[in-house]
Structure 1
């Protein structure tokens, strides 16, 4: 276990400095007894009610990146007396896999002791929730003054001093075209492909987002088609978070939204906007439930990696990227469903016919008997080496605690020790897996029994497909590369 130590005192007075030394000594003793590794010490001289503690923030960021496994603190109040920080640390412990242990035994997430931590977090949550409600009330009051409060204006608009203005570029015409194409019967994805093919900048690119992509998406088109701002109305408080700790956004009822009619110039007429909403609702009701086909989420494009889509009129599959964005992004990679079925069934029958159970089991059993003896000796040697390195690590923490080596020297040596331990653990894992080869003969026997049953099948079912096939990659010329979940029988000979 790699552990990080967090130490905090409220002031830099002399008696507080002594407290820092005492806390540090307690942690060194704890780490030595556990036989763990010290990753680093994070120390702040600051009040526990503020989140402006640089080393605590550094600790949280390092924990999110999983640079260590455990955070050690003297007591919970040393980490947080602030609601926001409390939940940030709680979330880190529960989601990133970083544990928290306090030396007063109040919290030990390794042992599942989260009760006190949860109680503190619950108290902080109540206060944070009340604060959040007050902020929402203030925001609603400001919204009623008619100012746009979003961080990014809708595509086609720019914002100046809280008011939306139509952009002086091609983006407003793109918005009008999207509405026109949808009313002409085009779908979300079809419109997105058209805009991508013609090279129009995406909303993310116009907003200069760092993660902006090159392609328009159907979800973006749908969002634009349901945005009432395009009619000239300013509509605020459309969404809200579920709670102060759950940031999932949900739609607010229309009568609870803040709507300022004719707050800015419109890009789309109200008639067109309402017609789109009605058309969208009617298409939603008529759309049949999508059927999942045999090779869905099994067959993929060998070039772009996108899942293949089934087309009923072709009785086969094509690349999803090609279908969504067109041929200038990726080619079709077409393959017929019946042809793919026939190839897999042919492979199964071919392997079954070539499999001699008696010969295969005999060879595997002989190899396994010899290998098991070698594995046992090698595993014992690896365990001895691991024990030796563990003792060396304990010795280092004792030297650090007695000031015989510096923290930098400790880290320099511990890196080499950890590297050796990691290599030995990989080797041990490989040996342990190989040692289980005694079960190969049973696996081969069961494989033959199943394959013999499969030979009688006239069709490839979903159950059999997912038991045997891991993934299928289809090349540009329609040739499938089938990756099976097991090796062909010849691999065991």
Structure 2
């Protein structure tokens, strides 16, 4: 008997899903634009309108909604909220088909594209790519999709590289891009330029001022939290790490260091700290300053001083600066240079007292350092005597401080050299600007351009280093002038004191050097040294 083959026709998807044969296919659309410019947001709105009309015009289709992401990258689906919601709805059986403009709109990552297409296909849900005319439910669909999605990924890499080129060119031109919504103290005007937010700027000034007065990042953060001052993102609690980052941020003095971080993977958009892998660009006077350059440099100097006082080894240097006690980080051993730490003596409250020990002796024994502990109350009494001596002869002390500053300034200042450096720096800035303009107009060979640009930048960096040495001296002197005037004002307002004044101590004293068991030196903020015998 001859074989007989009968064809059993394929069933419509609706029937397979247990629905009536005449059930309309539920169709949704997915749209996306990659940036948040006005022009492309109009493109986004046009896509939404187009696909809604397109679906509704088909009598055999039922409109199942539009999923649309705006201003979000397509290289990774992780950050596309609407795309991810669409996949969840697909798994819940809320539609039968997805229409999208092109593979690059759906995903520019080959693995993501194929992964989601296959997941949807297993559920009987097709994706139709309009531009490429690919239906994933078609037998040829996946082969074409694999080829075209690879091309889309290459396109994404090219776009990423072009975007980076544009960003670098803006950096070279000194154009600063800042997310002001997460940047305390600044807003943006209608031209996108940074302008000072005075209400927030007062908080920034408070942070810098309190740090110079001796408070640690922990104490400053606790004070802001206690006073009910919100962070830039509206949170109630301040963290010390935020304070430290603000104190180090050069933008508060009106300058900007550009390209602090770089993207190392165009697919994942992973960013890492730029430790020299790519050039950085330093723009002076790029926007209005909240903090004077003198105050900013004083804070950097104070941060370094606190770091140096923490000890000798790396482990000690990583420990936190504490301002829990007024003498914390201020007492230095005159014998070995180590910082002192506070300890309690006495077995009971009746006999207890607090002393300050040399860290070297405390950790390694008396053979490592012969400097013995200093009584805290004796140190406080010594400060009272020193302060009253200064108040009594305030004019003499102020004159001595001013003479010290003038001496340092005269020894390190060379007006002719500074003038020559400034003149050459101005010439180099003009040459770099002209080079960039010439390149944008006539597209110079990239190797020639890079060689000339790097040569100019290298010379500029060398000159800036030399200029910075002079500037630092000037800034330190100006900062010391300001300190002297502040100290002078405080001394004029103060009567002689009869007990330890913590606030006055933080304002006046840089450090205490223990010379012997009975003698200490108070080094004031402007370098003047006053000796006292402990009694």
Fold equivalence (TM over 0.5): no
Task: Between the two structures, name the one with larger relative contact order (CA 8 Å, sep ≥ 6).
Answer: 1
TM-score (structure 1 length as normaliser): 0.39
| Greater C-alpha radius of gyration | 2
